[in-house]
Amino acid sequence: MFDSGVGGLSVWREIVRRLPTESTLYFADQAHVPYGPRPVDELRRLSEGITRFFVEHDCKAVVVACNTASAAALKYLRETFPTLVVIGMEPAVKPATARTRSRVVGVMATPATFQGRLFQATAGRFAAHVRLVNQVCDGLAEQVESGVLEGPEVDALLARFLDPMLAAGADTVVLACTHYAFLIDAIARRAGPGVEVIDPAPAIARHLANLLAAKNLLAASAQPASHAFVTTGAPPTFDALAARLVGAPVRSSAAQWHDDRIEMVSRPG
Ligand code: DGL
């Protein structure tokens, strides 16, 4: 699975919990974080390069653990790698519209996620009778990426992003960026007790489990699982933050982009 950085670990931890015998390879493209402001063409090129890297490492399924990359490249990846199982993040508009009583749903995401056709299609399909208040949350993923999960800066950003949707009457808030799941406590606190905050990660893990079972691709239960992490940023920085976020030691390896290809480099130090 891949993300621009540590955000996808919120999906990784759900997948590992649900599928404990599956081995994983997590790729953080921290050389390019944040993905949110990047154009579609670039996001497709990056997503394709990372997926090719996964194919070279014999992955049987790819989870695009990033709403931004999913919005830009999910369809493209499925067309480019037709025999591979490719799953992406779909904004949880469907469950939100089923749960809202006020019929107002707030959606928090990056700019590229809202621009993508995937979001337009999901919104059009499921939110016909519900008002969606779409909020671009500039700078929020960057807070998580730098390890700031609470405090005055996060509170100020959350006030700016959440207050307009609360004022509009939202009683349900969708986290449509995988980084935001690590801020769910702060988001729920700001939103207050009457508001439900939806993180789609458990549903994605369930979907992956169902798909692997249906395709007869589940790992044998006797097999010990291994978990590898690769970053195009600095491994020590990734490891320290990832360990905090998932509550277990993490040891990543470094990789580098060479044009559109990814190559492993030896770990510094
Ligand atoms: N975690 C990514 C997402 O789900 C995006 C964060 C970024 O802008 O890089 O959209």
Sequential pLDDT tens for the chain (269 residues): 999 999 999 999 999 999 999 999 999 999 999 999 999 999 999 999 999 999 999 999 999 999 999 999 999 999 999 999 999 998 899 999 999 999 999 999 999 999 888 888 888 888 788 999 999 999 999 999 999 999 999 999 999 999 999 999 999 999 999 999 999 999 999 999 999 999 999 999 999 999 999 999 999 877 789 999 999 999 999 999 999 999 999 999 999 999 999 999 965 44
DSSP state at residue 7: T
Please state, in angstroms and as integers, the Cα–Cα distance from residue 59 to each residue in 54, 152, 167, 200, 229, following that order: 5, 41, 45, 23, 14
Contact 52/86 with Cβ under 8 angstroms? no
Q: What pLDDT is recorded for position 267? A: 55
Tell me the best of 6, 50, 68 to mutate to test the pocket of ligand 1, counting ligand atoms within 8 Å of each CB and taking the most. Answer: 68
The alpha carbon of 212 and the centre of ligand 1 are apart by a number of angstroms equal to 25
For the sheet with 61-64, list strands across it. Answer: 85-88, 61-64, 2-3, 24-28, 227-231, 252-258, 261-265
d(CA 159, CA 59): 41
The amino acid that residue 50 corresponds to is I
Atom of ligand 1 nearest to the CA of 109: 10
Atom of ligand 1 nearest to the CA of 141: 6
Question: Element (H or E) spanning 63, and its range?
Answer: strand 61-64
Pick the CATH number of 93-199 from 3.40.462.40, 3.20.20.140, 1.10.3470.10, 3.40.50.1860: 3.40.50.1860
State both tokens at 254: 């470094």
Q: What pLDDT is recorded for position 268? A: 46
Contact 97/105 with Cβ under 8 angstroms? yes
| Catalytic residue list contains 137 | no
Q: What pLDDT is recorded for position 269? A: 40
The alpha carbon of 180 and the centre of ligand 1 are apart by a number of angstroms equal to 9
At the topology level, CATH places domain 2-89+202-264 in Rossmann fold (3.40.50)
Residue 94 backbone phi and psi in degrees, to 5: -60, -55
Q: Which residue minimizes the CA distance to atom 8 of ligand 1? A: 36
Tell me the best of 12, 67, 174 to mutate to test the pocket of ligand 1, counting ligand atoms within 8 Å of each CB and taking the most. Answer: 67
The alpha carbon of 261 and the centre of ligand 1 are apart by a number of angstroms equal to 21
The alpha carbon of 208 and the centre of ligand 1 are apart by a number of angstroms equal to 20
Q: What pLDDT is recorded for position 266? A: 65
Which one of 175, 177, 201, 204 is the catalytic residue?
177
The alpha carbon of 221 and the centre of ligand 1 are apart by a number of angstroms equal to 33
- Start-end of CATH 3.40.50.1860 domains in the chain: 2-89+202-264, 93-199
Q: Which residue minimizes the CA distance to atom 2 of ligand 1? A: 66
Q: What pLDDT is recorded for position 122? A: 84
The alpha carbon of 216 and the centre of ligand 1 are apart by a number of angstroms equal to 31
Residues with CB under 6 A from ligand 1: 3-4, 7, 33-36, 66-68, 110, 113, 141, 177-179
| Catalytic residue list contains 66 | yes
Which one of 50, 62, 65, 66 is the catalytic residue?
66
Atom of ligand 1 nearest to the CA of 71: 10
